């Protein structure tokens, strides 16, 4: 997972001209929430939202590829929510759970997802 995040950071470092590269370093869940909360009015909104959505999609794609369905603690609803909705809801969840700000970004993302999308078995 760290490789995925490092690769995304490297790509963004070359495309985010006016924004310092450290803006896109994910040291913790608070950093991911900050990036995902970027307003459309910000000069780097397109890059920030693409980065956020890339982390969400990459983390979930990896999770699905390595976790057998019977062992998953979360299940995407049908129809699945958009990445934009998941990103906004994650930001709201993080504001309500500040104790997770210093946790790993993907760890907190999956805490949120397990609450938001529990499996109905």
pLDDT tens per residue, range 55-81: 999 999 999 999 998 898 899 899 999
Considering the domain boundaries, does residue 121 fall inside one?
Answer: no
Instruction: Specify the pLDDT at position 21.
Output: 66
- Across 75-86, b (16+ Cβ under 10 Å) vs e yields eeeeeeeebeeb
Domain residues for the domain of 100 are 2-116
Considering the domain boundaries, does residue 6 fall inside one?
Answer: yes
- Tell me how far apart the alpha carbons of residues 25 and 71 are, in angstroms, rounded to a whole number: 31
Kindly list the distances between the CA atom of residue 27 and the CA atoms of 70, 71, 117, in Å, as whole numbers in the listed order: 31, 28, 25
Considering the domain boundaries, does residue 88 fall inside one?
Answer: yes
- Segment 79-103 mean pLDDT: 97
Neighbours of 40 (CB within 10 A): 8
Considering the domain boundaries, does residue 20 fall inside one?
Answer: yes
Considering the domain boundaries, does residue 51 fall inside one?
Answer: yes
- Segment 113-117 mean pLDDT: 95
Question: What is the crossing angle of helices 105-116 and 29-36, to 10°?
Answer: 70
Radius of gyration of the chain (CA): 14
Considering the domain boundaries, does residue 98 fall inside one?
Answer: yes
Considering the domain boundaries, does residue 44 fall inside one?
Answer: yes
Listed residue (47, 74, 76) closest to 36, CA to CA: 47
The answer to whether the CB of 107 falls within 8 A of the CB of 99 is no
pLDDT tens per residue, range 14-36: 444 456 667 788 999 999 999 99
Greater confidence (73 vs 102) lies with 102
Which of 2-6, 30-34, 72-76, 103-107 is predicted least confidently?
2-6
- Tell me how far apart the alpha carbons of residues 74 and 55 are, in angstroms, rounded to a whole number: 17
Domains held by the chain: number: 1
Neighbours of 33 (CB within 10 A): 25
Considering the domain boundaries, does residue 54 fall inside one?
Answer: yes
- Segment 87-109 mean pLDDT: 98
pLDDT of residue 85 exceeding 90:
yes
């Amino acid at each position: 997972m760290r490789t995925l995040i490092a690769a995304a950071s490297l790509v963004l470092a070359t495309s985010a001209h006016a924004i310092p590269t450290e803006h896109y370093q994910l040291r913790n869940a608070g950093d991911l929430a900050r990036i995902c909360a970027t307003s459309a009015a910000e000069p780097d909104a397109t890059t920030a939202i693409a980065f956020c959505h890339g982390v969400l999609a990459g983390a979930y794609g990896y999770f699905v590829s390595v976790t057998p369905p019977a062992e998953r603690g979360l299940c995407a609803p049908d129809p699945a929510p958009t990445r934009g909705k998941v990103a906004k809801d994650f930001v709201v969840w993080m504001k309500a759970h500040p104790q997770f700000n210093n946790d790993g970004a993907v760890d907190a993302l999956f805490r949120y997802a397990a609450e938001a999308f529990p499996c109905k078995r």
